[in-house]
Amino acid sequence: EPEMVLFGEMGIDTVKAPDPIDVQERAFAQQLELAGELDLPVCVHSRDAFKLCEKVIRSVHPNGWKGFAHCFSDGPEEALGWKELGFKISFAGQVTFKNKSCDVIREAAKVLTPDDVVVETDAPFITPAPHRGKRNEPGFVRHTAEKLAEVWGISHEEVFARTTATARAVLGI
């Protein structure tokens, strides 16, 4: 379809997926092959699976590919790994969480610039502070942008402008 601008969500989940890893890897490789044939960027779900995703991406596209590391929840090393593969990092509500386990996500943001990033809601899940416990809504993405602005020492308006430009560039719109 000429209106398609992104293929996905696809990837590997080592935490909650019911399918064995080898099945996920094969499906992911087939989806990446199709994305290559269609010349479409991809949205990759990688839950505790960066190295596995990297292996599959490189097996299909040795020089990397293009797209988004959806709902990023890893650290700086993985963020830079995705960047090296040609992907933009997509931050959702977890970057706003106050618990220590989410510090690593903010540390990842510190090694990136707004030009490496997009923001998302992952609605109806992963509701950002101060709305945790409620159903996530698209308008709550502002809280994610505000937290990233704090991390980078810039305004949330600049975060929105630059991450929107990043998304448009990847999607070709």
Residue 152 maps to which CATH number?
Answer: 3.20.20.140
Q: Choose one of 27, 42, 65: the last residue of a domain.
A: 65
Which range marks the domain in which residue 30 is found?
1-65
Residue range 55-74, pLDDT digits in tens: 999 999 999 999 999 999 99
Regarding whether 72 and 25 lie in a shared domain, the answer is no
What is the value of pTM for the model shown? Answer: 0.95
Regarding whether 70 and 2 lie in a shared domain, the answer is no
- Whether 1 has a pLDDT exceeding 90, the answer reads no
In whole angstroms, how far apart are CA 3 and each of 7, 9, 70, 81? 11, 17, 21, 30
At residue 82 the predicted structure's pLDDT band, cuts being 50, 70 and 90, is very high
At residue 170 the predicted structure's pLDDT band, cuts being 50, 70 and 90, is very high
Regarding whether 81 and 166 lie in a shared domain, the answer is yes
Regarding whether 56 and 94 lie in a shared domain, the answer is no
- Whether 88 has a pLDDT exceeding 80, the answer reads yes
